[in-house]
């Protein structure tokens, strides 16, 4: 919807400029300025999932709990470590799984479910160029990941997160076609780039606030290293992490 509004406003302003200002010495510069503004908004829409530019995504919880989400797994070394910590701390999370990785580790999938966590679709291949895929190619990709996860879990997986968080109109059409709901995040951990465990934990503890959805990765050593200290310090600061009831509500819309 926001994308359509942006196009409509841009087209209207261009039309009005051509009608009323075509003889102005500023005509070309006005056209350039309007095009730059349109392009900047479009680029932010692609790069920032929380902008909800092309499609609606859940960015924050409606209650005061904090939801931990883990992308890019399952990982045979770190996902079990993370599950151990979550179980010890009585925290529930969502694991956005890559289909071709999930196929190799059905035992981890079974454990995620048995311990009360939620599984989300993170595509079958996590191709970093997926934002350039056509709608048909995206539907094929997601149909494959959906089939894989359904085979492993016994249930349809209705929630989805785009690789790298990039979206576009093709993603919007594909998710609508497959009846998938996008879940984004309000707090990005930057565990993929921050290689200092102390700094990463400090960032997470200081930034986490009520209703946040936190983006983490269960394929990284550093995430497994800092997770328990982060949870414990956040709890000491009054943070409530997602409960079984919250996970249940997300699962059933």
Q: Which residues are catalytic?
A: 71, 217
Cβ-Cβ contacts under 8 Å for 21 (sequence gap 6 or more): 27, 30
**69, burial (CB in 10 Å: exposed 0-12, middle 13-18, buried 19+):** buried
CB 94 within 8 A of CB 70: yes
Distance between CA atoms of residues 94 and 69, nearest Å: 5
Cβ-Cβ contacts under 8 Å for 221 (sequence gap 6 or more): 77, 78
**153, burial (CB in 10 Å: exposed 0-12, middle 13-18, buried 19+):** middle
User: Partners of 93 in the beta sheet?
Assistant: 68
CB 217 within 8 A of CB 243: no
Composition of the chain by helix, strand, coil, percent to 5: 55, 15, 30
Chain position carrying tokens 């196929």: 103
* DSSP SS3 for 253: coil
């Amino acid at each position: 919807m926001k994308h359509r509004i942006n196009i409509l406003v841009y087209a209207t302003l261009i039309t009005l400029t051509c009608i009323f200002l075509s003889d102005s010495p500023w005509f070309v510069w006005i056209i350039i300025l309007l095009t730059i503004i349109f392009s900047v908004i479009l680029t932010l829409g692609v790069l920032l999932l929380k902008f909800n530019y092309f499609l609606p995504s859940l960015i924050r919880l409606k209650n005061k709990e904090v939801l931990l989400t883990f992308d890019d797994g399952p990982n045979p070394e770190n996902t079990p470590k993370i599950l151990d910590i979550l179980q010890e701390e009585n925290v529930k999370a969502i694991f956005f799984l890559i289909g071709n990785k999930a196929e190799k580790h059905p035992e981890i999938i079974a454990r995620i479910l048995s311990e009360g966590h939620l599984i989300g679709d993170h595509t079958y291949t996590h191709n970093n160029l997926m934002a350039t895929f056509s709608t048909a190619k995206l539907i094929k990709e997601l149909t494959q990941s959906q089939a894989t996860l359904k085979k492993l879990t016994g249930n349809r997986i209705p929630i989805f997160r785009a690789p790298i968080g990039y979206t576009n109109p093709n993603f919007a059409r594909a998710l609508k076609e497959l009846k998938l709901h996008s879940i984004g995040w309000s707090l990005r951990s930057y565990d993929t780039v921050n290689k200092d465990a102390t700094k990463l934990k400090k960032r997470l503890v200081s930034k986490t606030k009520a209703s946040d959805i936190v983006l983490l990765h269960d394929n990284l050593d550093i995430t497994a290293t800092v997770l328990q200290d982060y949870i414990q310090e956040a709890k000491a600061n009054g943070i409530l992490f997602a409960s079984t009831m919250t996970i249940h509500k997300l699962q059933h819309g």
